[in-house]
Structure 1
Amino acid sequence: MRWTLKPKPDQKTASKLAEILKIDHVLAELLVRRGVESYDDAKKFFRPDLNDLHDPFLMKDMDKAVNRIKNAVDVNENILVYGDYDVDGTTSVALMSSYLKTLTPQVANYIPDRYNEGYGISYQGIDYAADNDITLIIALDCGIKAIEKIAYAKKKGIDFIICDHHRPGTHIPDAIAVLDPKRDDCTYPYKELCGCGVGFKLIQAIHGVRGGALKAILPYLDLVATAIGADIVPITGENRILAYYGLQVLNSAPRIGFQAMLSQVKKKSLTITDVVFLLAPRINAAGRMKHGLHAVTLLTETDYELAVAYAKEIETYNVDRKAADQSITIEALQQIKEKKEENKHTTVVYDAGWHKGVIGIVASRLIETFYRPTLVFTKSGDKLAASARSVKGFDVYNALEACTEYIDQFGGHKYAAGLTLYEEHYDAFKNKFESVVEESMDTALMTPEILIDAKLELTQISPKFYRILKQFAPFGPGNMAPVFLTEGVQDTGWGKCVGAEGTHLKATLKKDNIQIGAIGFNLGSKCDLILEKKLFDAVYAIGENEWNNEINLQLLLKDIN
């Protein structure tokens, strides 16, 4: 691990803010770094306000989208809500279809089959629409690059409205409306919405034109918050407001489908982290192991007993998913070892028999072992399909763009992407990708970095300090949970390795007559550093530990030295 202490923000501003808010100077520094410099800024940050959501009509083509949907509703036109098979896509479809069904019964849902159709808009999906007299498709979390598919639909008399958040290509599809804040010609003030977020802006616009109050569509924000967490978009600006209120809905009045899922995991209060690690994998498991429509069915179900049955089914898919990704990870690691590729700048592995639904998870697992840009390929029809994952600071999308001579199709983000290519191009692509990464990536990025927000003394950690720190949430990209460094601490003498294989580290840290419990997941190998009351430095986040109905502050160790 590389420890990097962030430079201090303007100290004069931090001191003034600490005085105004009557908070610890370190907390004031954290706020200044987040652009909070006054009382009013702090109020906006700590109390996100729905009134600060942007006017949806600032998004290019929003008026066209709203008018086309109004016309469809007025004449009882058949509408197909189409979305990708991941969490962002399935929550988007659940959101849009459940809202539209309050306006018209003529709404059907479509999620492409991961294996037969692949990512995004498919010819098969368009043919399904044509065969069922559907003349309007609303595509969510996909479509921004579907030039040929949209042209094909147009020939069949089918109109498209695209709600996407991925980077556009050189040309924009010839659809009725293309809603994507990342369009070069779109001046929408916030660029980082997820697909479900763009979908929410569309229903906000439709609802507003119909004279409805914003309050009436807040129940849909449980879906938006789930998509924001799962798609790892920045939790800043408008996303912070949507996530903040979405979590309130999830924790106070979640939809029936979420209630059924949460009955499986027995969690009292959800954070964005819980969304990422508890809800998202289960929703994703449907598309990975069976079909994404199972997730949409659960998320739109209004009968609790039926929802519980669907949730149990999805739990089974999730168990199967875990088994598949564990076995494939073992095989991939063995392949890397056999080919003596441990010291390359990239990891690119392929096996025709690997389950397409879990290769993205396997790519992330491989990064835990070999910290470098990673692609995991499997056979998909007459092509190879891959999921790409990257390391912090390296844009894998740009690297793939440099290899397009060997790629059939690709799309995605800076840190995660998907692609297909023909098998005869695999070796050439693998060599080119390695070459591109070797030339363009700073080798320092191949060592995981811990960014430290501030040095902190144990004496500064109090219930009040943590109470304020908790209000920095929801945490995520752009607003990560603060990480602190305390130097010269020691264990009280009872520290030990815990877990089935001694994988984790449990200790009680002591300095200046202050003691506080600490847990370090996957730090069991560093147990020797704390024995015999040796002095060491600790990097950690601050959390809570509940034991015997008592809640105490706890340090969540990131690393020790």
Structure 2
Amino acid sequence: MQKRWVEQEVTNQKAIQDLMQSLQVDEVLATLLVGRGITTFEDARCFFRPDLCHLHDPFLMADMEKAILRIEKAILAEEKILIYGDYDVDGTTSVALVYSFFRKYHKHLDYYIPDRYKEGYGISFQGIDYAAEHGYSLIIALDCGIKSVDKIDYANTLKIDFVICDHHTPGSILPDAIAVLDPKRADCDYPFKELSGCGIGFKLVQAYAQKNDIPFEEICCYLDLVAVSIASDIVPITGENRVLAWYGLKKLNESPCNGLAALIEISGKKQYTISDVVFMIGPRINAAGRIDDAKHSVSLLIADDDVAAKSQSLIINLKNSERKEFDSSITEQALAMLDNDPTQLNRKTTVVYDENWHKGVIGIVASRLTEKYYRPTIVLTKSNGHAAGSARSVLGFDLYEALSSCSDLLEQFGGHKYAAGLTIKPENIPALQQRFEDVVSQTIPAELLIQEISIDATIKLKDINGKLFRILNQFAPFGPMNLAPIFLTKNVKLNGNASIVGNNHLKLCICEEDSPAFECIGFNLGEHLSLVQRGQPFDICYTIEENVWKEKRSVQLNVKGIRSSADRTK
């Protein structure tokens, strides 16, 4: 696949010079920091030394006081409280966190996860009816509810109060709940807008603890759950999220809760990064709700002992194996459907539908199709008489806005800039295919349809040394808005052999005239084998990482792109 190499320009030379002097670092590192918005010594101190004291006062969030007062009233009156959450990783970690905290102080408490297939995403009428039938007078909704205006109105007729904790974009009307906690509310002055759903849940328990003189240390035990949600929900790892992720990963790697410890044992990996969570823990937690019942995930995450956790983890791992089979099969079918349709060749969108596809994996399939064709994608399947879909976008394009332009064709939709869910009548799918294509074609710049490699700095191989590597490690945790720096080195040469390993991965060793040789791995870059073997100079862009093989540690370049130096445009 063709990719655009974009070298980032940092123009604030004064900030670069100031950081070089105050931090005693070279120009490359100072440039990387300024490119991340770090322009002062104090900014750098907060970045390199995350501290829990940097977390914001939870009562800065609109309606937080109302939320805590209602929860305190319910606990004092011994009302029944239902913790309600979505069925994905963010939702289940949110429920596990809030339920685990409040069960220490209130015995009339349970949790509810909607059935993906019978109820769909978010708050459902069935869930509200369940609460009414079982005598719950307060529902704390997590990672959902911000657009459930009709559902909350219905709950009000049944004398059931709601406290909504959500992080999705609100609609024009807020639900008539007792409290609506969402930093994205237009009238919310909370300083950080990008918390995960579980992050909002953490702020809720932080506020309750703060109001009721509960030591902050008592809620720190839940930070591993917050880190898993931050990683899996792909929220920016900046500001408050960086602090929560840093301490959450520390908790995950040193003393995880019983449920996460069981998943870690199954995966076989000992130390986790954000990326490891995304690919090894998140999918397992998600699998329960995709294939069966997400309550299995909550049961795992709130397990009181390692025996119960082990039992639940085995169930979830089995569901994950089933998920992989569905994922592989449906992706193959979707790719064949597109490859055999000549009208797809010049389209700027993908919209595919098959009533027999498993609803639980269509989000994964949408991501895979987006990777393959690199264009905004919707994958749909039949669900409860309608078509349910998952949508994914490409970097820089607002998918949510595009779907808003198609809203008259949809029964409902919600999500983020890059990922969304939707429901539509099957007979409206052809109209959606054309409307979505028209909207995207009219609004997406052509360059956004070519995958971008964003290059942070150009360096020589001889610049890669122990000091650079140590400081780069302190840039972690890496994730959205704080990705691992990508470097460009021009006119390198092959040093020895290059070969294809695994599934089309390129393994090679490179050098410059005055540099040591560096081992490289380029995942899915096997098509460049002949280029690097020509004996001519070539350019590479890469991240710098540590490779561990049989307990031997070495610096390795993870190659993101290769091009002939002769083909360079600048």
User: Which band: TM-score by shorter chain?
Assistant: over 0.9
> What SS is found at the alignment partner of 2:236?
coil
Structure 2: which amino acid aligns with 1:435? D
Q: Confirm or deny that 1:435 pairs with 2:438.
A: yes
Deviation larger for 313-322 or 335-344 = 335-344
Q: Which residue of structure 1 lines up, in the alignment, with residue 24 of structure 2?
A: 22
Q: How does 1:153-172 map to 2 (within 5 A)?
A: 153-172=155-174
Match of 1:483 among 475, 486, 500: 486
Q: What is the alpha-carbon distance in structure 2 between the residues aligned to residue 546 and residue 189 of structure 1?
A: 40
Q: Which residue of structure 2 lines up, in the alignment, with residue 330 of structure 1?
A: 332
Match of 1:362 among 344, 365, 388: 365
Q: What is the alpha-carbon distance in structure 2 between the residues aligned to residue 314 and residue 274 of structure 1?
A: 18
Q: Which residue of structure 2 lines up, in the alignment, with residue 525 of structure 1?
A: 527
Q: What is the alpha-carbon distance in structure 2 between the residues aligned to residue 162 and residue 199 of structure 1?
A: 10
Q: How does 1:543-554 map to 2 (within 5 A)?
A: 543-554=545-556
Shift in Å, 1:152:
0.7
Q: Which residue of structure 2 lines up, in the alignment, with residue 90 of structure 1?
A: 92
Q: Confirm or deny that 1:178 pairs with 2:180.
A: yes
Deviation larger for 330-339 or 462-471 = 330-339
Q: What is the alpha-carbon distance in structure 1 between the residues aligned to residue 65 and residue 14 of structure 2?
A: 46
Deviation larger for 371-380 or 489-498 = 489-498
- Equivalent residues of 1:516, 1:553 under 8 A apart: yes
Q: How does 1:183-194 map to 2 (within 5 A)?
A: 183-194=185-196
Shift in Å, 1:425:
1.0
> What SS is found at the alignment partner of 1:108?
strand
Q: What is the alpha-carbon distance in structure 2 between the residues aligned to residue 90 and residue 456 of structure 1?
A: 43
Shift in Å, 1:463:
1.5
Q: Confirm or deny that 1:506 pairs with 2:529.
A: no
Shift in Å, 1:19:
2.6
1:219-256 Cα offsets, whole Å, 9 max, x none, are: 11101111011111111111111111111110111100
Q: Which residue of structure 1 lines up, in the alignment, with residue 567 of structure 2?
A: none
Structure 1: which amino acid aligns with 2:149? I
Q: Which residue of structure 2 lines up, in the alignment, with residue 269 of structure 1?
A: 271
1:10-61 Cα offsets, whole Å, 9 max, x none, are: 2232123123222221011111122222322211110011111111011010
C-alpha RMSD of matched pairs (Å): 1.0
Q: Which residue of structure 2 lines up, in the alignment, with residue 459 of structure 1?
A: 462
Q: How does 1:98-497 map to 2 (within 5 A)?
A: 98-340=100-342, 341-497=344-500
Q: What TM-score, normalized to structure 1?
A: 0.98
> What SS is found at the alignment partner of 1:384?
strand
1:336-362 Cα offsets, whole Å, 9 max, x none, are: 123221321100000000000000000
Structure 2: which amino acid aligns with 1:510? C
Deviation larger for 386-395 or 526-535 = 526-535
Shift in Å, 1:123:
0.6
Q: What is the alpha-carbon distance in structure 2 between the residues aligned to residue 547 and residue 190 of structure 1?
A: 40
Which blocks of at least 5 consecutive residues in structure 1 are unaligned?
none
Q: What is the alpha-carbon distance in structure 1 between the residues aligned to residue 126 and residue 38 of structure 2?
A: 50
Aligned length: 559
Q: What is the alpha-carbon distance in structure 1 between the residues aligned to residue 188 and residue 423 of structure 2?
A: 29
Shift in Å, 1:369:
1.4
Q: What is the alpha-carbon distance in structure 1 between the residues aligned to residue 521 and residue 240 of structure 2?
A: 34
Shift in Å, 1:410:
0.3
> What SS is found at the alignment partner of 1:294?
helix
Structure 1: which amino acid aligns with 2:493? Q
1:96-121 Cα offsets, whole Å, 9 max, x none, are: 00001011111111000000000000
- Equivalent residues of 1:493, 1:531 under 8 A apart: no
Deviation larger for 374-383 or 544-553 = 544-553
Shift in Å, 1:79:
0.5
- Equivalent residues of 1:342, 1:370 under 8 A apart: no
> What SS is found at the alignment partner of 1:48?
coil
Q: What is the alpha-carbon distance in structure 1 between the residues aligned to residue 551 and residue 327 of structure 2?
A: 36
Q: What is the alpha-carbon distance in structure 1 between the residues aligned to residue 408 and residue 340 of structure 2?
A: 29
> What SS is found at the alignment partner of 2:286?
helix
Structure 1: which amino acid aligns with 2:434? N
Q: What is the alpha-carbon distance in structure 1 between the residues aligned to residue 128 and residue 253 of structure 2?
A: 38
- Equivalent residues of 2:510, 2:520 under 8 A apart: yes
Q: What is the alpha-carbon distance in structure 2 between the residues aligned to residue 294 and residue 56 of structure 1?
A: 30
Identity across aligned pairs (percent)?
A: 53
Q: What is the alpha-carbon distance in structure 2 between the residues aligned to residue 32 and residue 377 of structure 1?
A: 42
Q: Which residue of structure 1 lines up, in the alignment, with residue 566 of structure 2?
A: none
Deviation larger for 425-434 or 115-124 = 425-434
Q: What is the alpha-carbon distance in structure 2 between the residues aligned to residue 45 and residue 529 of structure 1?
A: 40
- Equivalent residues of 1:9, 1:33 under 8 A apart: no
- Equivalent residues of 2:461, 2:515 under 8 A apart: no
Structure 1: which amino acid aligns with 2:450? T
> What SS is found at the alignment partner of 1:190?
coil
Q: What is the alpha-carbon distance in structure 2 between the residues aligned to residue 64 and residue 135 of structure 1?
A: 16
Q: What is the alpha-carbon distance in structure 2 between the residues aligned to residue 66 and residue 388 of structure 1?
A: 35
Deviation larger for 381-390 or 509-518 = 509-518
Q: What is the alpha-carbon distance in structure 2 between the residues aligned to residue 183 and residue 191 of structure 1?
A: 9
Shift in Å, 1:211:
0.7
Q: What is the alpha-carbon distance in structure 2 between the residues aligned to residue 437 and residue 40 of structure 1?
A: 42
1:190-219 Cα offsets, whole Å, 9 max, x none, are: 111111111100000000111122222111
Q: What is the alpha-carbon distance in structure 2 between the residues aligned to residue 346 and residue 125 of structure 1?
A: 35
Structure 2: which amino acid aligns with 1:2? R
Shift in Å, 1:532:
4.4
